[in-house]
């Protein structure tokens, strides 16, 4: 089935990238070990490979299609808002580390978590702006 790949879909899949980033950070930064961790790691790696292969085909099809100019402008506005949010979150995290309120391990999880939250917010903001035709 040859359905059109929309910009909404492409923006929405960034959430999956952020979730994968959280899982990989957790795999690299954890300090303990349980028997089921190996199963979780294997599932994440297999899912990543399958997702990237499927996503490569979607991206190739998307690059050949004509773009919606209003949606592209809305995405640029959404990215500008997201940049401001991320700068604020990084500054708060940096100052939290500077005054000793956050340890380095916690700061890493805060930053990776903020990337996940920002990808969800970016998708929501873009979908709202695009549906209203702003």
List of residues 6+ apart from 111 with CB closer than 8 A: 89, 90, 93
Q: pTM of the full predicted structure? A: 0.83
pLDDT in tens, 61-116: 888 878 788 888 999 999 999 999 999 999 999 999 999 888 888 888 999 999 99
Within 13 Å, how many C-alpha atoms sit on residue 74's CB side?
Answer: 21
pLDDT tens for residues 23-42? 999 888 888 888 888 899 99
DSSP H helical segments within the chain, as ranges? 7-12, 14-29, 36-64, 69-98, 104-132
Burial of 99 (0-12, 13-18, 19+ CB in 10 A): exposed
Backbone angles phi, psi at 56, to 5 degrees: -60, -40
Q: For residue 128, count other CB atoms closer than 10 A to its CB.
A: 12
Report residue 35 as tokens. 């028997």
Spatial distance between the Cα atoms of 19 and 21, rounded to a whole number of angstroms: 5
């Amino acid at each position: 089935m040859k359905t059109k790949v929309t910009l909404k879909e492409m923006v929405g899949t960034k959430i999956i990238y952020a979730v994968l980033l959280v899982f990989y950070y957790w795999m690299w930064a954890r300090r303990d070990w349980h028997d089921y961790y190996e199963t979780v790691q294997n599932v994440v790696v297999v899912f990543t490979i399958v997702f990237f292969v499927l996503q490569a085909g979607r991206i190739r099809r998307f690059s050949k299609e004509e773009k919606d100019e209003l949606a592209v402008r809305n995405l640029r506005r959404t990215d500008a808002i997201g940049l401001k949010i991320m700068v604020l979150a990084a500054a708060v995290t940096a100052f939290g580390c500077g005054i000793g309120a956050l340890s380095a391990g916690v700061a890493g999880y805060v930053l990776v978590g903020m990337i996940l939250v920002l990808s969800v917010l970016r998708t929501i903001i873009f979908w709202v702006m695009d549906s209203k035709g702003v």
